[in-house]
Structure 1
Amino acid sequence: MTIRPEGPHDTAIAALLNTFIDSDPRLDIWHRYPDISETEDDYTDGWACEQVSAEFAAFARKHGWDAVVVHADDPKHPLAFDHAWVRLTRDGSALDVDWTARQFHNLHDSDGNDPAVLTLPWPLAWDPAIVGRHSHPVAGPYDTITLEDR
């Protein structure tokens, strides 16, 4: 999979995302999610949004980006759950990146086949100034946001 640039820092962002994808074949699990094996699904129990986000944030920092893990707690949507993603910043612009957003495939469609989620770009990326600094484009707003830069 190759991510193509579209806007101001997008060439650099695309390069960062593609380099991260190339660096860790395990990411393909989240690209294919929820169409994964039971063994892979069990593996995601210990390698989910928190872990993937921490790894990507560290990777981005090594490649010259300001990157923090966004810990989102207390979702307003009754079926959503606590989640994590990465906020990249450069030259005053921010971009949020979520490698595991497809785990919300059953949030709005009880049979788990929500095409609005399953057809989202992977990784999911958005401008927090547009979506909201305390919001996720699929899960919606969260009451508590903590930024971690370790």
Structure 2
Amino acid sequence: MDARPMELIDLLQGFIDAEPRLDIWRRYPDITEAEDNYTDTWACAQVSGQFAAFAREHGWEAVVVHADEPEQPLAFDHAWVRLTRDGRSTDVDWTARQFHNLHAAEGHDPNVLALPWPLAWDPVVIAPDDHLIVGRYGTITKEDR
């Protein structure tokens, strides 16, 4: 039996327990104006960098994936984390719910908001450098520090 899924679940739960501010992103977009303003300085790059460091402290290989130039015209630059262990990778996006208005002009797209939080996917199945919701980006860089 493969113990990896439980280890991943434990890692995600450990980060949730260690960082109570994540609740803003769990509830997004149903947050207060003050919380929304806070996400301007604690957004995808900051959350991803913090999670990558946490994951490395707990024995995972972790890089922050910085994605620029999305093909989807309503999308914007974004960041998420690629975890690797035993040759298998999982992408994790704590702030994906900000794309609730990407495919539904009025926002609150139930197809996005019903996705698990944090959003996690196998990059081999989707495409190595694509985002599960946004799709393809023109430029991808990976930061491993």
Does the aligned pair in 1 maintain the 2:68–2:138 contact within 8 Å? yes
User: Shift in Å at residue 9 of structure 1?
Assistant: 1.3
| Structure 2 segments unaligned to the other structure (5+ residues) | none
Alignment partner, residue 110 of structure 1: 105
Contact preservation (8 Å) 1:20, 1:56:
yes
Distance in structure 2 (CA, Å) of the matches to 1:29 and 1:11: 25
Q: Is the 8 A contact 1:76 1:142 kept in 2?
A: yes
Counterpart of 1:14 in structure 2 is: 9
Do structure 1's residue 91 and structure 2's residue 86 form an aligned pair?
Answer: yes
Map 1:134-149 → 2, pairs under 5 A: 134-149=129-144
Structure 1, unaligned stretches of length 5 or more?
1-6
Displaced runs of 4 or more, over 6 A = none
1:33 aligns with 2:31: no
State the Cα RMSD in Å.
0.9
User: Which amino acid letter does the alignment assign opposite residue 58 of structure 2?
Assistant: H
1:107-149 Cα shifts (integer Å, max 9, x gaps): 0000002100011100000000011112111111111110101
Q: 57-66 or 134-143, which moves further after superposition?
A: 134-143
Q: Scaled by the length of structure 2, what TM-score is found?
A: 0.97
Contact 1:60–1:66 under 8 Å retained in 2: yes
Aligned pair count reads 144
Q: Report whether the alignment pairs 1:58 with 2:53.
A: yes
Cα distance in 1, alignment partners of residues 134 and 66 from structure 2: 13
Give 1:44 shift: 0.1
The separation in 2 between residues aligned to 1:59 and 1:112, in whole angstroms, is 32
CA distance in 1, matches of 2:64, 2:74: 22
Percent pairwise identity? 67
